[in-house]
Structure 1
């Protein structure tokens, strides 16, 4: 039986891939990788790009293309057998990673190429970047360690991967485990008819009458924002906030308390073993901000400049609640804050987010997004029928003026065995092989919107549109690359605190009147969003914006501090650290039983460890970049082409600070972001 993962394919043959193919493909590809590494090590000729770097890039690209499919299916089509395969694959690849980056002979070949002035100067900018990245990876992986220290490094590295995987699985299982069947429809007062229909359908799927609530993101936000029943809001907030934790009403088998301590401790040990004072220092060594103090100062400056407006936002909401609901309200619990915020938002701006939904048909939002890309970048998108992992998945090809340049899968709807949240990931990275064939970049774009009822149109609210634009922004950073070396093409090896810029900047178009007209078409009348609706929506852009900034600062500081000087012995110390940050930063009260860190997958299993601040930093960069679009025209083709030329197409090949300053024309500053959020 042929293994489809080991055959040549331009797109993954999803319909042919079986579980039994996966581990065999990883093992076979790794066997080939080890063999090629031996060939590189035994090469008699002086190291060159072609006989060393190119060969190294190609085998790694082959390996991670196959593993990427397994990783993707693990996220969107999760199952116990697939978890075992994924876990085994992680261990095998971590062994390979340690083998290559602790291989002295291989290291010396790369170092010899770097130290040969004539040979090094013959490399282009992208090739030099790849060579320097590889040498950095050798250093970060302990190439200079003593043999017994290398053995310790390998064990720690493997343990970190294992615990991160356990952490993520615990969050997913804990999230999917909670369900509440509602038998009295009156308890659901305040919810839209679409939401009520969705949760009724969920109940029918398990052969129950009534309405089934879950902790899936879409359902959770609908309840917490719109349900009139305070007891129900508090209950769902409670169970969402204690997922995978030690809180008494939770299932202990998914408790991440000890896992968190393990991850923090192991990351610290690994960092110190490789010459860093802390994991935060190690993490920032590969980011745009190189210094922990600079990162924390940035966060404290944001907090300082946002705090007065945040206090005003809370006081205005309290005043609204006391005037319209009860004069006895002294403070707002989180499950009441979100609910009353929506009430006040509607009072101030005429409509809440759900009432915009009829105007935003998924079909026309996507078409509008494609039109925006054409106007800005001159690119075309066409849908194509291809093999996928689910019938709801769509695939699109991307063309420039002359050629097909890439494509992306679009997976929009929540499913039973699909991870919560929204993300973009690489399916295929751009790579020119030695035979001169070129692999075109392909991306996965994944969201968790509610699937429309049979015969109904898929309608999005404005928040979901922002999410979709954000993830598509990542995808086109990946697709528009001109770098033909896999490890630095698209989003690869772009510093984490910069990689969010192309996604953040796409969010800004969601608030432009012309864009709102372009992407809207009422599902009954066919009319675009009225001017009065657009005006009110734009007015609401900075509603509670300072509170949003403070919350992001709070999470970012927790992440940096937990990975810097703080080494906890137990989960209570982690909770205490967060309590101290809350006292310093937070305006709104957060219950002591909240265990957000137990499901903070971004930093404990998602690559953002000691890097969550990246969202705020990238947002600051995006605000400065978008200011040029505003000045020259949000659909100005020349500005768009300059953005591609100076940033998007370069992938991880150049210094991001230099690239951005060339596009922006100056050093990015924090005030541009604060102006965008209406804080100054």
Structure 2
């Protein structure tokens, strides 16, 4: 029913991809020879062979992310320019474009899914440069190959810089660090190793009492990959050229052509409106932290003090300490309980599958809906040195039916960087880790519950970028619901349920300093939109960031902070001129979440309606239309403010 995932033989995988690109070209040429081109005899098989290639590429890119080594880097770097060239050539193929226009004209009564595939393809062909003269097409192709290489280089530079730094500390240096984090950092020689990998970095920044060491870590973290400053200039220059060649005013305008938001101005207005509401509250929050730090003898608060004193203030205000929750959030129990929650919330069940995995700690499950196996999910949750930091969902295969009516079931990977289990202690999560798990599972469910028959708009495929975070943010909000926590928060040794007083405290503390968090996201989002509205030099990039900070930020970092050099979301990921999507999608998710809360959380009729109108439909319709179909009206900003504890 499901193919096995094999993590060996990368060279063989590379060869298969190269062969597949060539066979696809020949296959598509043969399809174009058909005297009477139709959706069924052209677009159905066309989608299938492109999806097959995408699935093969996913295997290599996934392994480069979770088992990163010299071989994976070399092979992935070799493939990228060839893939970029393949997709650029394809996107500029006038014959395919002409075939799509013929289908659109000859078959005006296609169903909604097929119509969306056709509309998206025609739009994307136009964005690929169809209709441009030969010289311009060649220029566009070269730009995209170069961009592919530069963004990969950017990401690799950040990973290399992260891996290159480590502090070996003695017992005196780790005062204040929780035992679980000390255990993770303990070395055979009795020292403690702290790195720039996020779980390690954030542990010291949150709890480490030694201010000089916090500053060392902060300085190293925010000055990673200085060579990326020049790459940013090159990337932005090439993106601007690409946009102009395609007839767009700026890259920001090009980026929004495939999103729900219409113009950069509309996005900036949305961000400024939120900043206006959040900044006064964020200023008050910051003032409270400074006053608290002053009481403890710290007169001036520097950026490397902020997380440390915020945590102390949080404990003082709510007696809230993330550490006391960790024994109640053992990874395996959390996973099991999360699946129980999803069964109660959405009526879906998970059954463990026995299949080859790329690492012993990886788990695999089949997802069942109404007793029928619907899809497969892999979970790779523990931090490893050869694994890229952060958390993500990677879709391997989408749900669809091919031209012969054969059904393909979807498969997805959820990857995170949670604390590693040791010989003496299992992987114990923080509440924030559980939020991350729920977030990525929201993405996975969006992909895995798809009932769409066309692969290009199935699951997360074809979903507008500024709506793709909607299901993930919707799901993560439930972590703070007492009814949900009661399902899985149990002490890993005594099996005692988490005390209700802990849950009360966690819920109260949820929006602690949340306005400062909102402001930080808005700062990143506005910076992203503004740098993509022009073609800035490395110096100008810094000026734009400084200006945005002046307008929005509460904490102004030191001049040497080069946060932009490790901002992989926009310079190596898919968020270029799209980082605002997190807040835009949160607007939808907040409204959907409160619609469940108002019905007492578990309401299977409401859940079924949500599953059928949003999750099962993937990218087969405009995301805002799907939201309205579920919610009955447009989203309201008050729900977003309520979610963040900000008065409307």
- Give the TM-score of the pair, scaled to structure 1: 0.94
**1:31 aligned partner:** 22
2:598 match: secondary structure: helix
Deviation of 1:11 after TM superposition, in Å, equals 2.3
**2:452 aligned partner:** 483
What aligned pairs does 1:126-137 form with structure 2 within 5 A after superposition? 126-137=113-124
Alignment pair present for 1:568 and 2:536: yes
Alignment pair present for 1:506 and 2:498: no
Alignment pair present for 1:144 and 2:131: yes
Where do 5+ consecutive residues of structure 1 fail to align?
Answer: 1-8, 246-254
Deviation of 1:136 after TM superposition, in Å, equals 0.8
Q: Which whole-Å deviations, capped at 9, do the CAs of 1:94-133 have from their partners, x for residues lacking one?
A: 12212221111111111111122xx221x11101111111
Q: Which whole-Å deviations, capped at 9, do the CAs of 1:213-241 have from their partners, x for residues lacking one?
A: 11111000000011011011111011011
8 Å Cα contact 1:333/1:589 also seen in 2: no
Distance 1:416 1:457 in 2: 18
Alignment pair present for 1:273 and 2:245: yes
- Give the TM-score of the pair, scaled to structure 2: 0.98
**Which of 207, 212, 216 is residue 231 of structure 1 equivalent to?**
212
Distance 2:281 2:95 in 1: 58
1:338 match: secondary structure: helix
Distance 1:338 1:322 in 2: 15
Q: Which whole-Å deviations, capped at 9, do the CAs of 1:296-349 have from their partners, x for residues lacking one?
A: 0010011000011111101111111222x12x61x4211111100000100111
Distance 1:13 1:462 in 2: 31
**Which of 496, 500, 514 is residue 527 of structure 1 equivalent to?**
496
Distance 1:519 1:543 in 2: 24
2:634 match: secondary structure: coil
**Which of 142, 145, 154 is residue 167 of structure 1 equivalent to?**
154
Deviation of 1:427 after TM superposition, in Å, equals 1.3
**1:291 aligned partner:** 263
Q: Which whole-Å deviations, capped at 9, do the CAs of 1:357-394 have from their partners, x for residues lacking one?
A: 11112122111211111112211101111111111111
Distance 2:77 2:427 in 1: 36
What aligned pairs does 1:195-594 form with structure 2 within 5 A after superposition? 195-200=181-186, 203-204=187-188, 208-245=189-226, 255-323=227-295, 325-326=296-297, 329=299, 331-564=300-533, 566-569=534-537, 571-594=538-561
**Which of 41, 44, 69 is residue 51 of structure 1 equivalent to?**
41
Mean CA deviation greater in 360-369 or 422-431: 360-369
**CA RMSD in angstroms, aligned pairs only:** 1.2
**1:602 aligned partner:** 569
Distance 2:272 2:432 in 1: 27
Q: Which whole-Å deviations, capped at 9, do the CAs of 1:240-259 have from their partners, x for residues lacking one?
A: 111111xxxxxxxxx11111
Q: Which whole-Å deviations, capped at 9, do the CAs of 1:531-556 have from their partners, x for residues lacking one?
A: 11111111101100100000000000
8 Å Cα contact 2:459/2:617 also seen in 1: yes
8 Å Cα contact 2:596/2:603 also seen in 1: yes
Deviation of 1:523 after TM superposition, in Å, equals 1.8
**1:103 aligned partner:** 93
2:640 match: secondary structure: helix
**2:174 aligned partner:** 188
Distance 2:11 2:556 in 1: 50
**2:580 aligned partner:** 613
2:480 match: secondary structure: coil
8 Å Cα contact 1:372/1:635 also seen in 2: no
8 Å Cα contact 2:355/2:364 also seen in 1: yes
Distance 1:13 1:459 in 2: 28
**2:613 aligned partner:** 646
Distance 1:322 1:103 in 2: 65
8 Å Cα contact 2:320/2:509 also seen in 1: no
8 Å Cα contact 2:464/2:622 also seen in 1: no
**Which of 606, 628, 631 is residue 595 of structure 2 equivalent to?**
628
**Which of 73, 85, 98 is residue 75 of structure 2 equivalent to?**
85
8 Å Cα contact 2:282/2:554 also seen in 1: yes
What aligned pairs does 1:109-120 form with structure 2 within 5 A after superposition? 109-116=99-106, 119-120=107-108
Distance 1:628 1:104 in 2: 47
Q: Which whole-Å deviations, capped at 9, do the CAs of 1:568-614 have from their partners, x for residues lacking one?
A: 23x22111110111111111131111111100010011100000001
Deviation of 1:660 after TM superposition, in Å, equals 0.5
Distance 1:525 1:41 in 2: 66
8 Å Cα contact 2:486/2:498 also seen in 1: yes
8 Å Cα contact 2:303/2:557 also seen in 1: yes
8 Å Cα contact 1:280/1:560 also seen in 2: yes
8 Å Cα contact 1:409/1:443 also seen in 2: yes
**1:10 aligned partner:** 2
Q: Which whole-Å deviations, capped at 9, do the CAs of 1:60-106 have from their partners, x for residues lacking one?
A: 01101101100100111111222121122222221221222111111
2:376 match: secondary structure: strand
Deviation of 1:431 after TM superposition, in Å, equals 2.1
Distance 1:558 1:147 in 2: 35
1:524 match: secondary structure: coil
Distance 2:345 2:328 in 1: 24
Aligned length: 647
Deviation of 1:492 after TM superposition, in Å, equals 0.8
1:587 match: secondary structure: coil
Distance 1:434 1:667 in 2: 37
1:395 match: secondary structure: strand
Distance 2:288 2:81 in 1: 53
Deviation of 1:209 after TM superposition, in Å, equals 4.2
Distance 1:353 1:297 in 2: 36
2:351 match: secondary structure: strand
Deviation of 1:669 after TM superposition, in Å, equals 1.8
Q: Which whole-Å deviations, capped at 9, do the CAs of 1:627-668 have from their partners, x for residues lacking one?
A: 110112211111111111111111111011111012112211
Deviation of 1:456 after TM superposition, in Å, equals 2.1
